[in-house]
Structure 1
Amino acid sequence: MLKEETKGLVLYQTEDGAVTLEVNVEEDTVWLTQMQMADLFQRDISVISRHIKNVFQEEVEEKSNLHFLQIASSDKPVACYSLDVIISVGYRVKSKRGVEFRR
């Protein structure tokens, strides 16, 4: 459930409260890092990485769906992926959390 939108940041929490994410909103879409997707979909980051690679090869254009954002906890920009990529990865991992996120 999307809880609050402030300064380009939306807080997302799963229905059971097990996962809470700070979701970046920029250019009219949601952006997540691979680590955030791994937490959201309860999969290893290597699984998420493999699915992202396949999504870019088969479904969406990388240029408009990959964005580098400066994150406070990092000294260099971090790769973030658009909502289109997030949803495609969610379908591929066949995760209960993916279904919940899409709703």
Structure 2
Amino acid sequence: MPPNPVPPNQALFVNADDGTEIAVHVDGDTLWLTQAQMGRLFGITTSTVSEHLANIYRDDELDREETSRRISVERKEGERKVERTLNHYSLDAVLSVGYRVSSKRGTRFRKWA
């Protein structure tokens, strides 16, 4: 059976090491990820992502209004498909978190970036 096609407003990131797939939202010239997606990307918990984002915004490294937005996404919960509005963070925020994490994936990310 062929894989599900990726919707036009999404891009699929596949981790070459373990095959982890993350479908990220694309809008204009940037990508938007949730905290859970960043956690999967960097191999850390969502609470760690949240802590890094709080520090980034507290230190005025980034402007929350410019780098976060609420986006409606369709999710499967059990047997149901539901639409939820989730906080998403721009590529700038993802990059800032990536430079703060201390995990193997974070190290690989910094070498790549």
> What TM-score do the two structures reach when normalised by structure 2?
0.77
The answer on whether the counterparts of 1:23 and 1:32 sit within 8 Å (CA) in structure 2 is yes
> What TM-score do the two structures reach when normalised by structure 1?
0.84
Share of identical aligned residues, percent?
A: 35
Structure number with greater Rg is: 2
Aligned to 2:63: 61
The answer on whether the counterparts of 2:39 and 2:46 sit within 8 Å (CA) in structure 1 is yes
* Alpha-carbon displacement from aligned partner over 1:17-61 (angstroms, at most 9, x marks no partner): 332110111131010001111111111111111001111122100
Q: Which protein has the bigger helix share?
A: 1
RMSD over equivalenced CA pairs, Å: 1.9
Gaps of 5+ in 1: none
Q: Give the partner amino acid of 2:20.
A: V
Check if 1:45 corresponds to 2:53.
Answer: no
Aligned to 2:84: 76
Question: Bigger shift: 74-83 or 32-41?
Answer: 74-83
Aligned length: 99
